[in-house]
Amino acid sequence: MSVRNEQAHEARAADDAAPRFSAEELVQTASDVLHRLGAPRQTADVVAASLVLSNLVGHDSHGIVRLIQYSELVKGGQVRPDGQPTVVSARGAVATVDGGWGFGQPAAQLATQLATESASAHGISAVSISSCNHIGRLGEYVATIAEAGQMGMAFCNSGPIVAPFGGAGRVMGTNPFAWSAPLRDDFVALDFATSKVAEGKIKIAVAEGRTLPPGLIVDSVGRPSVDPADLYGGGALLAFGEHKGSGMSMLIELTAALVSGMGSSCDPEYQGGNGTLIMALDIAAFVDMERYYEQAATFCTEAKRIGGGPEHLDILLPGELEARTLEARRAGGVVVAANIRRQITVLADEFGLDLGRFALR
C-alpha cells in the first residue's frame, strides 16, 4: 500500500464508527483464546503479542485473524499447543532448534536470541528451526536482531502454492524473506513474501465475485488467469519479479527448507509449517561501528532526499511504513474487521470465553 493509500486508509478507518482496540486489549483477547486452545499462559502471551504486533505494524493478514487458522491447526493436530522449542545443537556459530511442533513464534524468538548471542561471539551466526509451525511475520525477528546492532536475515518455506517462473503447478510456498540493518537509533527491515500476493487475497476476490488484476495466478495448465476460482481448480500463485522472485523462492526452498530438515514444500514428506533459517551478522566484527552508522545515515538521507518520481510519493526506507503504522496504531488503536471479530467470537463461544467488548455476534 502506498503512503498516500495508507494515509487514506487510516483516515477512512477513523471516519468509521468501528471500535478501536488497544494493543493490550488485543493481546489479552488473543492470549485468552490461545490459552483455552491449550497453550500454557506464557506461550499464549508470547504468541498473542507477536500476532498483535503484526496488527500494530499494519500487517493485519498476520495479526489476530490467525487465531482462526491456528485453532484449526490445533484441532487437526498440526500444532501442539503446549509444544516447546528446544536447542538441539549449538556448535560454534551454528545452532539448531526443534520447534516441538508447538506454535512457531516462541521457536523463532528462541532462534533469534541464539543468533544474536552467537553472532556477538563469532561475528556471524546461523540458526535453523525444524518441526516448526507458522512463525508469523518475519520482520519481527530481523528487527530484534537489528535492535541488537547486528544485521539479520530470516527466511522460511511454507505450504506449496506458487508455480516456478514459466511453469504450472504448485512447487514452492509463499516463502517470505526478511533482511534488516541497524541505524544508530533505528533500523531498516525489508520483509515480504516471494509470491506476488498472499493466497488470502485471492480467497477474498472469490468471496466478492471479483476478477483479479492480470499477472497474479496461472490456471491448472499454466495459462495466465484473472479468474480467482482458477487458483482453487489446481492453479498456482506467481512469484513477484518473474524469474527473480521465482529464483529467490527456489533458493529459500533449498536453503531454509532443506537445512532445517523440514523438506521442500513439494516433498511428499513435508509435513507443513515453516522450515526456517535465521542468520545474524555482527557489523563490528568487520568494520568500525561508528563509521558504519555514519555511512548508513548518509546513505539513507540521500536515498530519501532524491525524490522526483512521477507521483511525488514519499521515498520510504524498508520498514518505514511499518514504523509509521506502529506509531499511529499505538496511539489510535486497531480496527479489527467485523467478520474477523465474529469468527473469533464463535471460537471463544466454544470455550464459554467472554471476550467483552471485542465480541461481535
Ligand X SMILES: NC(=O)c1ccc[n+]([C@@H]2O[C@H](COP(=O)([O-])OP(=O)(O)OC[C@H]3O[C@@H](n4cnc5c(N)ncnc54)[C@H](O)[C@@H]3O)[C@@H](O)[C@H]2O)c1
325 backbone dihedrals φ, ψ, rounded to 5°: -65, -40
Give the binding range for ligand X (CB under 6 A) out of 36-44, 122-130, 279-287, 314-322. 314-322
- Is 198 a binding residue for ligand X by CB under 6 A? The answer is yes
- Is 193 a binding residue for ligand X by CB under 6 A? The answer is yes
Q: Which of residues 261-290 bind ligand X (CB under 6 A)?
A: 274
Give the binding range for ligand X (CB under 6 A) out of 286-294, 316-324, 332-340, 350-358. 316-324
Per-residue binder mask for ligand X (CB under 6 A), 199-238, x = binder: ----------------------------------------
Of the candidate residues 35, 66, 80, 137, the single one contacting ligand X (CB under 6 A): 137
CB of 1 to ligand X, least distance (A): 7
- Would you call 91 helix, strand, or coil by DSSP? strand
Q: Which is nearer to ligand X, 148 or 178 (CB)?
A: 178
Q: Which is nearer to ligand X, 43 or 274 (CB)?
A: 274
Of the candidate residues 2, 86, 298, 301, the single one contacting ligand X (CB under 6 A): 2
- Is 318 a binding residue for ligand X by CB under 6 A? The answer is yes
Helices (H), the chain: 3-15, 23-36, 41-56, 66-75, 104-122, 139-147, 199-207, 229-232, 243-252, 258-259, 289-305, 320-332, 338-350
Q: Which is nearer to ligand X, 57 or 355 (CB)?
A: 57
Q: Which is nearer to ligand X, 193 or 277 (CB)?
A: 193
Q: Which three cell numbers stand for residue 323?
A: 514504523
Which H helix or E strand runs over 78? Answer: none
Give the binding range for ligand X (CB under 6 A) out of 76-84, 192-200, 331-339, 345-353. 192-200
CB of 234 to ligand X, least distance (A): 21
Biggest alpha carbon distance in the chain?
58
- Is 138 a binding residue for ligand X by CB under 6 A? The answer is yes
CB 104 within 8 A of CB 274: yes
Q: Which of residues 52-81 bind ligand X (CB under 6 A)?
A: 59, 62
CB 81 within 8 A of CB 39: yes
> Exposed e or buried b for every residue in 270-308, given b needs 16+ CB within 10 A?
bebbbbbbbbbbbbeeeeeeeebbeebeeebeeeeeeee
CA torsion, points 156, 157, 163, 165, in degrees to nearest 10?
30
Of the candidate residues 50, 131, 158, 265, the single one contacting ligand X (CB under 6 A): 158
Of the candidate residues 94, 123, 192, 289, the single one contacting ligand X (CB under 6 A): 192
Q: Which three cell numbers stand for residue 15?
A: 471516519
DSSP string covering 261-296: TS--TT-TT--SS--EEEEEE-GGGTS-HHHHHHHH
Q: Which is nearer to ligand X, 138 or 250 (CB)?
A: 138
Q: Which three cell numbers stand for residue 35?
A: 490459552
Q: Which is nearer to ligand X, 32 or 176 (CB)?
A: 176
Bridge partners, residue 341, by sequence: none
Of the candidate residues 183, 190, 353, 360, the single one contacting ligand X (CB under 6 A): 190
- Asked whether the CA dihedral 23, 336, 135, 246 is positive or negative, the reply is negative
- Is 106 a binding residue for ligand X by CB under 6 A? The answer is no
Of the candidate residues 226, 321, 346, 359, the single one contacting ligand X (CB under 6 A): 321
- Is 174 a binding residue for ligand X by CB under 6 A? The answer is yes
Residues near ligand X (CB under 6 A) are 2, 59, 62, 134-139, 156, 158, 174, 176, 178, 190-193, 198, 274, 316, 318-319, 321-322
